[in-house]
Amino acid sequence: MRRSDIPTVHISLPEKVYEELKSLAGSMGIQITDLIKMFIKQGLYGNINADAPALQKLKTYEDELTYVKGKLYLLESLLNETVSRLEDLEKRLEELESPDVLIKARRSNSGRLNKP
């Protein structure tokens, strides 16, 4: 592959980011473009330093998301159980209010549903 065949990427950076890259590249004795290539390779192959503040925030957010998902699962289970019990109570209430229950109760003496 000839040098002219290498794809080129142009990026715009905030001045502060550029200055930080320039300083870091200078302290490492390499060019900014080589430093950027190194960062890209680290990102592609998962060699990013976990001490970076943004990555630590991401880890914290991932942990919090896992916690929230667990709580959501528990709440969903509780809600489903509550709905199931409510449906059961509604069915029982319908049975108690049905005309057949009243007729049977009247036939069996006093006509009261709740005998003393």
5-61 tens-digit pLDDT: 888 889 999 999 999 999 988 888 899 998 898 888 887 877 655 566 766 787 888
The pair of three-digit structure tokens given for residue 16, joined into one six-digit string: 């502060």
Asked if the structure places residue 4 within a domain, the reply is no
> What pLDDT shows up at residue 73?
94
Q: Are residues 81 and 111 in the same domain?
A: yes
Number of domains in the chain: 2
**pTM for the predicted model, two decimal places:** 0.40
Structure tokens at 67: 């916690």
What CA–CA distances, in Å, run from 44 to 17, 37, 39, 50, 95? 20, 11, 9, 14, 65
Q: Please indicate, yes or no, whether residues 27 and 77 belong to a single structural domain of this protein.
A: no
60 shares its domain with 108? yes
In a domain, residue 35? The reply is yes
Query: What is residue 44's predicted lDDT score, i.e. its pLDDT?
Result: 80
56 and 42 in a common domain:
no
User: Does residue 62 sit within a domain?
Assistant: yes
Q: Does 24 share its domain with 42? A: yes
**What is the longest distance spanned by two Cα atoms in the chain?**
105
Q: Which residues of 31-63 are buried (b: 16+ CB within 10 A; e: fewer)?
A: eeeebeeeeeeeeeeeeeeeeeeeeeeeeeeee
Question: Left, alpha or beta for 115 (phi > 0: left; psi -120 to 50: alpha)?
Answer: beta
Query: For 80-115, how does the pLDDT look when each residue is reduced to its tens digit (9 = 90+)?
Result: 999 999 999 999 888 887 777 666 766 766 555 555
Domain housing 16 = 11-51
Q: Is residue 5 domain-resident?
A: no
